[in-house]
Structure 1
């Protein structure tokens, strides 16, 4: 008799677990927003809340993934449409009109470079692990590489360097990528005052890159490190909206703090703290 009573007591006690299990099994990608209802028992209610919290994180991950796929598709569609259009133009008029041929080939080349750059940035951004080779070097060495890389873009700019250089222990390769992104933005969004100011602070191990460009609205600053985010999508400058998210991810990986200050019409200051 005691065994029978124990059986029914155990069955009754485990009934909420069975019910929760059945509810979880019904949740999939199509109804990921559903949650387990509040439970009568305090212990099982705690379990339900823990599971709901996990479902919240899974749902958020799904949303991020779907948004990422949507953004990538959008970024790919425009240059591919352009390439397809110019190929049709070449087929129709290319042989008889050299000007049309040159224009089409230039545009195809430009769109191809855009796609290649996008793919390279996506590969870098979606890496789960980075092979980091740290070394001690003077930050002026990386700046010299940056100046050499942008020598054509900077020919019309006045570049001023303040302060004294200092040594850091980090990845020279990834620091170059971070600074490259910051310089690309400083060049791209500069106004008529083509000036970039670099400030080195050896006492606090900081480097700041200041431009006198269009600036970023205060309420948009919190979003600028997000993937595909563009502070002003209507502007004519080309870009994927991936550069700063790559810089942020690499900076976090290297334990470098990246921060920004900006004022509309006066420019922006990006600072790296080692």
Structure 2
């Protein structure tokens, strides 16, 4: 099977109290000096890749604020994404919400005798791993319209101005027990901009690790995260399997701090 390169732009969140030794009177983003080389084909996502079971999205109540994207934004053809024992999920269009940003509107029909909940395990846009916002519960015999929103900050950090391809991994679970009962393979949606999409990501920074077909680059320090300062990481996984990366120990200016970071990067 041909190895497919996936990279990740992850956020390493540092506790604000632990960073009292670091000057915080500036709001400028600080570059991490070091190796600025790198010609790696890339793919990206925020470090928070997990979807919480049972947290139904409230986007359905915001349907009225969804609007068709502007002419410059690509369109998609209506497509059945997957079917599971009477459960049918169909991609309808790309929408643009003033609050949530770009997303894919889906129509869900539950023709079975059971209630089902649906989530997205991972969303990948233009080969970049992107945080999504989606969870929907559909009762037996009912239908629903909902939207899979794609993180605006992740798209911006990945340098994605036009969406050419979206890859989605869905899972279905029991809304009462939260037990997963079905997981899809990768489902690909190509937009009208597929042939001209840009998959080049700015990967300049300080190389922290580069071995075993894995590369980790520290890009810059983000001063704006709610949990404190964050080191933005650019991660390339060129292996045959998915990998999970975490930070075990960390010190700043000689002081031990507690990092909050774990992320899965797809092959």
TM range, normalised to the smaller chain?
A: under 0.3
Which structure has the highest helix share of the two? 1
Which structure has the highest strand share of the two? 2
Comparing both chains, which one has the higher relative contact order based on Cα–Cα distances under 8 Å and sequence gaps of 6 or more?
A: 2
TM-score, normalised via structure 2 length: 0.25
Q: Choose 1 or 2 for highest CA Rg.
A: 1
